[in-house]
Amino acid sequence: MAVDQTVHGVPPSLSAKVTGSFAYLTIRDRMPTILTKAVDTIHRNKSKFFEEHGEEGISAEKQAISLLSKLRNELQTDKPLLELMDGLPDTESWNLYMQRQQSQLGDQESASWFKSPWLYVECYMYRRIQEAIGLK
C-alpha cells in the first residue's frame, strides 16, 4: 500500500512530495536553517568547550559539527533516512517506525526526507541532532 493512500477515512500524512506545500517549504527551507543555526551555535562556543573539557571538548565540537553538516546535506539532497545508532532507550522505536515507512513505500523508493511524513522527519531531525551531540 502506498503511503499517500487514504486508509479508513484518515487522509495521507503531509509530506514534502508536493512542491510549494507547507511540508515542502518546511523541509526545504526551515529545517536546513535550524541545522545551520545549531552548527553556528556549537562553533561559537568552541572556546567554552575547550575551557571546560580541554582537547576532548574541541574533538566533540568538531565531531558534532561534522555530523550536523552531514545531516543537513542528507536533508537537502533527499537522501534515504538512516537508522539511529546511539543505543538510547528509544532508538529501536525510531528504527522500527522507519522500517514501517519503508515497507509502505515498497522496493521502488527509499524512505527519505521529502517522501516520508513531514512530522516524522521533523522529529527525526531533532532526534538526529541529539544523536550527533551525544556520540563520542
What pLDDT does 1 receive?
43
Identify any residues that bridge with 7 across adjacent strands, giving them in sequence order: 10
Q: Is the pLDDT of residue 2 over 70?
A: no
Over the stretch 91-109, which tens digit does the pLDDT of each residue have? 999 999 999 999 988 888 8
Amino acid at 20: G
What pLDDT does 8 receive?
79
What pLDDT does 105 receive?
87
Q: Is the pLDDT of residue 12 over 60?
A: yes
99-135 burial by CB neighbour count: b if 16+ within 10 A, else e? Answer: eebbeebeeeeebbbbbbbbebbbebbebbbebbbee
Q: Are 23 and 14 in contact (CB under 8 A)?
A: yes
Q: Is the pLDDT of residue 136 over 70?
A: no
